[in-house]
Structure 1
Amino acid sequence: MIIAFSVTPIGIGEDVADAVTDAIRVVRESGLPNETDAMFTRLEGEWDEVMAVVKGAVDAVRAHTGRVSMVLKADIREGVTDAMTAKVKEVERRLA
């Protein structure tokens, strides 16, 4: 599965960089394929391992505040690996 998710601390003001950095650290230390941009982090793996990383990221943000907002979108497709990069490559191939 591939997920795109965002975890935002609520109630700590505009500067959320420390909390977000802690969440992204959890993602990167997971060893799963991942990419982070200004809005979302994408993560690829099996259901249980991906959801464990999401929980860890939420817990990392919760260490900064008692309230967290999360957005999560998932593409669940059995038997597919490396879809996170393969999908983009296919679109780029068609654009060329």
Structure 2
Amino acid sequence: MSVLVEFSMFPTDKGESVSAYVSRIIRMIDESGIPYQLTSMGTVFETETIEEALEIIKKAYKELEPDCNRVYSVVKFDIRKGKENRLVQKIKSIETKLGREVSK
């Protein structure tokens, strides 16, 4: 099974620039070893189960909880049985249909 998650999470009580806080979350995801893609508006990651995905979201919040009084988050899930590596495969599919050479 493939669980794709797109989410953003950041404190709303720390001023305009929150990259220092978001970086803590990205470091945790990176250290977890799961595949992910950082974008300018959020992060997409892939796990094999919904439980693993929810655990990452929980850990992300735990990164901010100690020193953030208000945290905003948006989370989207795309869950598909019998598939894997969709973080890469979905993009390859579109690129192929556009006639672009796909690396990886």
Band of TM-score, shorter chain: over 0.9
CA deviation profile, 1:22-69 (whole Å, cap 9, x unmatched): 011111111111010111100101211111111111111223311100
Match of 1:61 among 52, 64, 84: 64
Q: Which amino acid aligns with 1:52?
A: E
Q: Give the fraction of aligned pairs with identical amino acids, expressed as a percent.
A: 32
CA drift of 1:7 comes to 0.1
SS in 2 for 1:76: strand
Contact 1:23 1:57 in 2 (8 A): yes
Give structure 1 stretches of 5+ with no counterpart. Answer: none
Greater Rg over alpha carbons, structure: 2
RMSD: 1.0
TM-score for the superposition, normalised by structure 2: 0.87
* Structure with more of its chain in helix, by fraction: 1
| Distance in 1, Cα, partners of 2:65 & 2:21 | 8
1:92 aligned residue:
95
Number of paired residues? 96
Give structure 2 stretches of 5+ with no counterpart. Answer: 100-104
TM-score for the superposition, normalised by structure 1: 0.94
2:102 aligned residue:
none
Contact 1:11 1:65 in 2 (8 A): yes
